[in-house]
């Protein structure tokens, strides 16, 4: 379940609609992340990823420096429920061809997972299962 997966994760980095792209690029670099949620108060307005910024650079050239989060963000944003399984979240992201998925519990934002986070979790689960089976067989 994604809700339990988010326990102990890094704090979520969010931005407002009017934040300049140059500031967002600095945040992505500083926090070593690939996307930020664009918020209107407690409501998700959009998601801005490295891909969105690259698309903006292609479409606007040097003018991208004058853009804001609202100008380049992807909206509406597909979200997952806290009870969504890691496998189901991976399927949603694969089908939608995106790498970041906000997780909600009701209307409350719990966090943001990346496809890399989920792949890492699946590998850890598979390794733990293999170790458990190995222990069972040798006992």
Q: Give yes or no for a contact between 94 and 118, defined as CB atoms under 8 angstroms apart.
A: no
Taking each helix axis from N to C terminus, what angle separates 50-60 and 21-31, rounded to the nearest 10 degrees?
A: 150
Q: Tell me what the mean pLDDT of segment 100-122 comes to.
A: 90
Q: Which pLDDT does position 34 carry in this prediction? A: 94
- Comparing CA positions, the residue from 48, 27, 46, 45 lying closest to residue 36 is 48
Q: Which residues of 35-65 are buried (b: 16+ CB within 10 A; e: fewer)?
A: bbbbbeeeebbbbbbebbbeebbeeeeeebe
The per-residue pLDDT for 7 is: 61
**Average pLDDT estimate for 98-119:** 92
Residues 6+ apart with CB under 8 A from 77: 37, 44, 46, 47, 102
Q: What proportion of the chain, given as a percentage, has pLDDT over 70?
A: 96
Number of H helices, E strands in the chain: 6, 6
pLDDT at residue 77 tops 70: yes
Does position 78 have pLDDT exceeding 90, yes or no?
yes
Domain ranges of the chain: 2-138
Residue 8: pLDDT over 80: no
Fold assignment, 2-138: CBS-domain (3.10.580)
User: Which of residues 126 and 90 earns the better pLDDT score?
Assistant: 90
Q: Cα(32)–Cα(27) distance, rounded to whole angstroms?
A: 8
Q: Which residues have a Cβ under 8 Å from the Cβ of 48 and sit 6 or more positions away?
A: 15, 24, 35, 36, 37, 38, 69, 72, 73, 74
Q: What's the burial of 81, exposed, middle or buried (CB within 10 Å: 0-12/13-18/19+)?
A: middle
Average pLDDT over residues 83-111: 94
């Amino acid at each position: 379940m994604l809700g339990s997966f988010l326990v102990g994760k890094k704090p979520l980095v969010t931005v407002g609609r009017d934040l300049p792209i140059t500031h967002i690029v600095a945040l992505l670099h500083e926090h070593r992340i690939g996307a930020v949620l664009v918020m209107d108060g407690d409501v998700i307005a959009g998601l801005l990823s490295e891909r969105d910024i690259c698309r903006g650079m292609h479409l606007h050239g040097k003018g991208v420096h004058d853009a804001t989060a609202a100008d380049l963000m992807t909206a509406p944003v597909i979200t997952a429920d806290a009870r969504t399984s890691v496998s189901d979240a991976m399927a949603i992201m694969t089908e939608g061809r995106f790498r970041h998925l906000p997780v909600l519990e009701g209307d409350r934002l719990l966090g943001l997972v990346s496809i890399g986070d989920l792949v890492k979790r699946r590998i850890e689960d598979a390794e733990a299962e293999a170790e458990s089976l190995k222990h069972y067989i040798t006992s």
